[in-house]
Amino acid sequence: GEDVEQSLFLSVREGDSSVINCTYTDSSSTYLYWYKQEPGAGLQLLTYIFSNMDMKQDQRLTVLLNKKDKHLSLRIADTQTGDSAIYFCAEDWYGGSQGNLIFGKGTKLSVKP
């Protein structure tokens, strides 16, 4: 079925690394996404990875993709208080629809000073 799973909460100390995990369902997905949502705001695109890649790095962000286990992770290095937000994992369910995404429920990241 269509289901993207994420843990609901993560708490880290400022300066530590954060790792947010996600499992998805469709092995034929073309793109997998990470979005950030601050209170009362829209979704900010953080990064995305094509399904034939294993890893993508963008400044403090590292995305790892394990296609065999259908597992996606987002690592934030040197986590700051400004990183506190809800992080959503999403997959492009129809494999290239460019807009029809299945989202997880989101992981709330709390960063303690």
Partner 1 sequence: DAGVTQSPTHLIKTRGQQVTLRCSPKSGHDTVSWYQQALGQGPQFIFQYYEEEERQRGNFPDRFSGHQFPNYSSELNVNALLLGDSALYLCASSFLSGGNTGELFFGEGSRLTVL
Residues within the interface to partner 1 (CB under 8 A): 4, 30-31, 33, 35, 40-45, 48, 50, 88, 90, 92, 94, 96-106
b (16+ CB within 10 A) / e for 65-89: beeeebebbbbbeebeeebbbbbbb
Nearest distance in Å: CB 6, partner 1: 9
Closer residue to partner 1 (CB): 14 or 71: 71
Closer residue to partner 1 (CB): 42 or 82: 42
Nearest distance in Å: CB 39, partner 1: 11
The C-alpha atoms of residue 25 and residue 37 are separated, in whole angstroms, by: 23
